[in-house]
Amino acid sequence: MGQMHEHPNGRMSAYGSLVLQTVISGIVMYLVMFVMIDSVDSFYNNLNMFYMTLMMVAPMATLTARPPFDAMNREKALPSSSIVSEFKLI
């Protein structure tokens, strides 16, 4: 398995940080699913629990990995006044 590439200043790359954040969030979400069990006897681990964790982590990772909304994208976006006027009509 490859190593995560680091920047010259010692910081992790953006994608390495995303992978680390996604893995940690996935572990936390997996463990949170078991908060409401009564006892250790009620603990049943199956593949559906893993699928549920992926269903929770996938949208979070997708939204985090999208390109940032910067000045270049701002020129292509609608003016804020038109967005506000659309909400006033509703």
Domain segments of the chain: what residues? 14-89
Give the Cβ contact number of residue 57 at 10 Å.
19
In this prediction, residues 8-12 reach a mean pLDDT of 65
Residue 42: the pLDDT is: 83
- What pTM does this model have? 0.58
Beta bridge partners of 26: none
d(CA 5, CA 3): 6
- Of 82, 78, 60, give the one whose Cα is nearest residue 69: 78
d(CA 33, CA 45): 11
- Local structure of 90: helix, strand or coil: coil
d(CA 25, CA 36): 19
pLDDT band at 87 (very low <50, low <70, confident <90, very high): low
pLDDT digits (tens, 9 = 90+) for 37-83: 888 888 888 899 899 999 999 998 888 887 666 555 555 555 555 55
- Local structure of 6: helix, strand or coil: strand
